[in-house]
Structure 1
Amino acid sequence: MKPPLSETSLADLRERFLVQGGPCSPQTLGRLRQDPRKGVQALAEQLARRSARARAENRRMDDLLAFERERWGKGIIRIAGTDEVGVGPLAGPVVAAAVILPPDVRVEGVNDSKQLRPEQREALSLEIRERAVTFAFGEASLEEIERINIRNAGFLAMRRALEALSPEPELVVIDAHRLDGLPWPQEPVIKADASIHCVACASVLAKVHRDAYMVEMDRLYPGYGFAEHKGYGCPSHLDALKRLGPSPIHRAGFHWAGRQLSLFGD
């Protein structure tokens, strides 16, 4: 039998509630706040902040799933989210992912991939892959980017990802735009990667997949720093271009003269 909280050492309380993540009810929190020990009072405030963050995250996840739950309730079960990454870099392909998740699967912590740390994206990507009904990737090559422009290349990559899904979706959810030529109903939603669960999951899958590709390209074409910046135009990347010139995976549409490097629009 556990001793009363008032007789439990601060070290044991920290172990119980912080390290082991033991439940802390409002009643328990109130008793900790009333403890005369300053360290226990500080622990109570730390636990209160943790609880507030957990409640806020739970509300965010409920909001993230609201779109899908409404459609699941109407009998639309296989809802595919799709998103693309790699529109802005100077190097590498555009990559898209598409994913269908079972009804009411909740990938805790998922968000627009840009809002997550690399280690969070890696862990979430593994979970999404394990729990998905199906997922797939699509890509638009450097040649296609140059021929049809970067915006259309992103659309092409998303179409390819969606067409590779098995089973096929009953509904497709896309960030902001409609995709021409899809055989399935689609709903474009502004900022879907931050507001729709399946699109956020697709965003994470696409980002992790493309980042891994760029790490491999860093081994093939050392000196550009692809493993760090993933092809985006940061100062170190621009400096490498001035020193080394473009690699085979750099996109056309940019040039440099002297110490100036600029991008042409599409």
Structure 2
Amino acid sequence: MIKQNSKSKYDYWINRNLFRCSVSFVNPLKKFDLDYIKDSSKLLAGVDEAGRGPLAGPVVAAAVVFKNSIDIPLVDDSKKIKESDREILYERIINESISFGIGIVDNNDIDEINILQASLKAMKIAVYNLDVEPDIILIDGNKSFVMNKEIHTVVKGDSKSFSIAAASIIAKVERDRIMKNLSLQYPEYKWEKNKGYPTKEHFELVRKYGITPFHRKTFLKKFLSEEIQESLL
């Protein structure tokens, strides 16, 4: 059942953005997914991650499964949607989905196994955390994890596939919430604003305050070595 408050927010938002939609419009992202489903009884999961590039925090992945009849207008690559709109779509997506799963790999694991392997690990965990077993899995990117399923990698999948785009929104919102919570412990790094990404300000704050237990040391290795060299001059 759709929560009334989230549905009302979504309906208001959709009406405000109706110029981007049309009753007769066939969503190309949804059509992309349906082209993979030859048997209507099959379940398809879209999988994506958020947080490959930041200096701090985890990488978070999401997997999401919908009924084949479900389409949610304006679902798109999370990077193309502003934060407040992602929150509205997030609520709609989780309410309309059959199931969604989250996978989180922290900064220590990222340092140990590298960001690519950490991203694939998070995606695999997200699929395992689904309450249903998908028959087909669409993964954003060109790398895949090993699983006894029909798996397809889709380069720029978050702008091509409805399910991957929905997963990208879930992953992004979940990770942003984690970083906002971490910012309560370390307010000086302004993670509620930069979400741990390598902004000029974030580098300056690392230079000023040092690194935290949530920073990715491998991502800061070059920066820290340059800082040491500068201190010796």
Matched, 1:83 2:45: no
CA apart distance, 1:230:
0.1
Corresponding residue for 1:66?
A: 31
- Partners in 1 of 2:157 and 2:79 — Cα distance? 13
1:54 maps to a residue whose letter is C
Structure 1 segment 235-254 matched on structure 2, within 5 A: 235-253=200-218, 254=220
Match of 1:203 among 151, 155, 168: 168
Instruction: Deviation per CA, 1:241-266: give whole Å up to 9, x if none.
Output: 111001110011214344999xxxxx
Unpaired segments ≥5 residues, structure 2: 1-14
CA apart distance, 1:104:
1.8
CA apart distance, 1:52:
6.4
- Partners in 2 of 1:204 and 1:191 — Cα distance? 14
Match of 2:85 among 120, 130, 135: 120
What TM-score do you get using the length of structure 2 for normalisation?
0.84
Unpaired segments ≥5 residues, structure 1: 1-20, 22-49, 262-266
Instruction: Deviation per CA, 1:54-80: give whole Å up to 9, x if none.
Output: 34x974x62111122233443353100
Corresponding residue for 2:21?
A: 54
Corresponding residue for 2:197?
A: 232
Structure 1 segment 144-155 matched on structure 2, within 5 A: 144-155=109-120
Question: Which structure is larger by alpha-carbon Rg, 1 or 2?
Answer: 1
Match of 1:93 among 58, 68, 76: 58
CA apart distance, 1:178:
4.1
Judge conservation of contact 2:21–2:73 (CA < 8 Å) in 1: no
What TM-score do you get using the length of structure 1 for normalisation?
0.74
Corresponding residue for 1:170?
A: 135
CA apart distance, 1:187:
1.1
Judge conservation of contact 2:47–2:63 (CA < 8 Å) in 1: yes
Quickly say closer, same or farther: Cα 1:239–1:109, change in 2 above 3 A. same
Match of 1:187 among 129, 138, 152: 152
Aligned residue pair count: 211
CA RMSD in angstroms comes to 2.2
